[in-house]
């Protein structure tokens, strides 16, 4: 059933249409999504005019049954629908290569999705998308391994590594210092578990957490639906 507060509503129905509309209305070349339902990749790409890749993470056993249950009762199945890390790429960029690396299998499968994209002029960019494990120690392990794998794979190409790191710089300053020292990945958002780090790129607009209304839509009753419990993180870069 729908639950309504003074300003927001919680609805028990799939919100693919709302997610796709918000994402399509934003200006971006690459979008990194974590723990998205795997079946959403194609409709999100079609709505956004983008190609994309999806790497499945946890809770995907018997995926068709999970998807069916999620259509019937999203609140009941919640994250047990299954997740994936997805990267959407808008033209003129195109996907040139895809890889993935399993970071851990316990307590849940965590994977970094790696994508190399190219522009018409031949410029290349590599991106890594991950959702790290919970708990500062396990999260730091996943992030460190993802950065190492992505850095080695990208070689000398510019690299972006983003996602839900599940550990804040204020909780583990050493981790973020090592990401910059070893891999050149920066800058970190001080109090956020959601990060977007880069190397080999010139910042045009600083990495920032967007206001809550960037992930909200009206529900038709004067209230709004907040589509995610995580904020949108955005940055703009230039490259040679």
- Look at residue 194 and tell me if it is in a domain: yes
For 88-146, the pLDDT digits (tens) are: 999 999 999 999 999 999 889 999 999 999 998 999 999 999 999 999 999 999 999 99
* pLDDT of amino acid 180: 98
CATH number of the domain bearing residue 54: 3.60.10.10
Long-range contact set of residues 179-182: C-beta below 8 Å, sequence gap at least 24 = 179/143, 179/144, 179/147, 182/147, 182/148, 182/151
- The 8-class DSSP code of residue 131 comes to E
Q: Sort 104 into a burial class: Cβ within 10 Å, 0-12 / 13-18 / 19+.
A: middle
Rounded to 5 degrees, φ, ψ at 42 are: -65, -50
Q: Is the pLDDT of residue 77 over 60?
A: no
- Look at residue 218 and tell me if it is in a domain: no
- Look at residue 223 and tell me if it is in a domain: no
Is 116:159 a contact under the CB 8 Å cutoff? no
Is the pTM for the entire model greater than 0.85? yes
Q: Sort 140 into a burial class: Cβ within 10 Å, 0-12 / 13-18 / 19+.
A: buried
- Look at residue 232 and tell me if it is in a domain: no
**Number of folded domains in the chain?**
1
Q: Sort 91 into a burial class: Cβ within 10 Å, 0-12 / 13-18 / 19+.
A: exposed
Task: Give the domain range for residue 30.
Answer: 3-208
Q: Is the pLDDT of residue 71 over 90?
A: no
List the helix and strand counts (H, then E) for the chain: 6, 14
| Pairing mode of beta strands 50-56, 84-90 | antiparallel
Joined tokens for residue 36: 């998205």
Rounded CA separation 217/20 (Å): 11
- Look at residue 109 and tell me if it is in a domain: yes
- Look at residue 8 and tell me if it is in a domain: yes
Cα 148 to the center of its chain, rounded Å: 18
- Look at residue 192 and tell me if it is in a domain: yes
Q: Is the pLDDT of residue 60 over 60?
A: no
- Look at residue 172 and tell me if it is in a domain: yes
* pLDDT of amino acid 174: 97
List the one residue out of 59, 29, 9, 70 whose CA is nearest residue 158. 29
Q: Hunting for tokens 């919100």 — which residue is that? A: 15
Is 95:133 a contact under the CB 8 Å cutoff? no
């Amino acid at each position: 059933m729908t639950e309504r507060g003074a300003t927001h509503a919680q609805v028990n129905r799939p919100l693919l249409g709302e997610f796709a509309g918000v994402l399509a209305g934003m200006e971006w070349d690459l979008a990194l999504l974590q723990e998205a339902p795997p079946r959403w990749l194609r409709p999100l790409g079609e709505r956004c005019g983008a190609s994309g890749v999806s790497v499945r993470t946890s809770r995907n056993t018997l995926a068709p049954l999970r998807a069916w249950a999620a259509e019937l009762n999203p609140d009941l199945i919640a994250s047990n629908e299954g997740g994936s890390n997805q990267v959407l790429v808008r033209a003129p960029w195109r996907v040139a290569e895809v890889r993935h690396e399993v970071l851990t299998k316990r307590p849940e499968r965590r994977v970094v999705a790696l994508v190399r994209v190219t522009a018409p002029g031949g410029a290349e960019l590599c991106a890594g998308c991950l959702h790290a494990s919970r708990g500062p120690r396990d999260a730091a392990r996943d992030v460190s391994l993802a950065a190492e794998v992505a850095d080695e794979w990208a070689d000398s190409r510019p690299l972006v590594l983003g996602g839900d790191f599940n550990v804040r710089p204020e909780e583990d300053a050493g981790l973020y210092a090592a990401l910059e020292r070893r891999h050149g990945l920066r800058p970190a958002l001080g109090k956020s578990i959601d990060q977007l780090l880069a190397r080999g790129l010139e910042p045009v607009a600083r990495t920032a957490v967007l206001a809550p209304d960037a992930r909200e839509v009206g529900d038709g009753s004067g209230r709004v639906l907040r589509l995610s419990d995580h904020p949108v993180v955005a940055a703009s870069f230039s490259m040679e």
